[in-house]
Amino acid sequence: MKRMLRCGGAFAATMLAGLAAPALAAESPATPVLEVAATTPPGVAAIPAGAATGAAAMPLDYRLGPNDRVTISVYGEDDLSREYIVAPAGTISLPLIGDITAKGRTADDLRGEITRRLADGFLNNPTVTVQISAFRNFYILGEVNKPGEYAFETGLTVTQAVAEAAGFTYRAARRTAYIRHEGQTTESKVAITPGMSVEPGDTIRFGERYF
């Protein structure tokens, strides 16, 4: 009789273990691991690992302009590989090939032009990369506490630009601004909305409110 009880107890324990296993498996599903390759598309500024960006990088069709900074690397040519600033005339000057128009070109367009010029009697099959290392500054004027020129960062909004300029004066018209984009000759009056973006080279002016 005791032997039968022992056998019955072992059988019951085995059955309970079998029922518990699926339940535990349902409660603890395997977590899939997602692997993402970290790549930087041509023509977009490379962002160092761990750097805070606040937003996505500028689009591939971003057009260079005066005061943008580009890092140019030519494989095996240390004298050519360094950072260049786009001059007010819209050009950069490289050893061997001289002035090249950068204004109005994408980083990839500029890479192609440099490659073509170097291959024309200077280097055999040159390998060239161009990355935007810094964007041209923006300007905020009018009824802010510290009007002036400020460094542009990707993802910058008008609200953040005002904060950079130490906020509004007490008489500022805060709901509208006058904005002139790089290359434009006139400013446009716009209503300020949350998340409104600033572009490199923008001039933002806040007027005075009427009481």
Minimum mean pLDDT among 50-54, 66-70, 177-181: which range?
A: 50-54
Minimum mean pLDDT among 47-56, 117-126, 147-156, 197-206: which range?
A: 47-56
- CB 156 within 8 Å of CB 201: no
Which candidate, 112, 106, 100, 66, places its Cα nearest to that of 86? Answer: 66
pTM of the predicted structure, to 2 decimals? 0.67
Is residue 173's pLDDT more than 60?
Answer: yes
| Domains annotated on the chain, with CATH | 69-134 (3.30.1950.10), 138-206 (3.10.560.10)
Encoding tokens for residue 138? 């923006």
Predicted pLDDT of residue 202: 96
Taking each continuous run of H as one helix and of E as one strand, the counts in the chain are 3, 10
pLDDT tens across 103-149, in order? Answer: 999 999 999 999 999 999 999 999 999 999 999 999 999 999 999 99
Rounded Cα gap, residues 43 and 109, in angstroms: 9
The residue assigned the tokens 């004298």 is 79
Is residue 18's pLDDT more than 80?
Answer: no
Cβ-based neighbours of 162, under 8 Å, separated by 6 or more: 140, 144, 168, 206
Give me the mean pLDDT over the 39-57 stretch. Answer: 35
Q: Which amino acid is at 38?
A: A
Predicted pLDDT of residue 59: 72
Average pLDDT, the chain: 80
What's the helix, strand, coil split of the chain in %, to 5? 20, 25, 55
pLDDT tens across 74-99, in order? Answer: 999 999 999 999 999 999 999 999 99
Rounded Cα gap, residues 125 and 211, in angstroms: 67
Give the pLDDT band (50/70/90) at residue 36.
very low
Phi and psi angles of residue 149, each rounded to the nearest 5 degrees, phi first: -105, 135
Predicted pLDDT of residue 211: 67
SS3 148: strand
Helix (H) or strand (E) holding 157: none
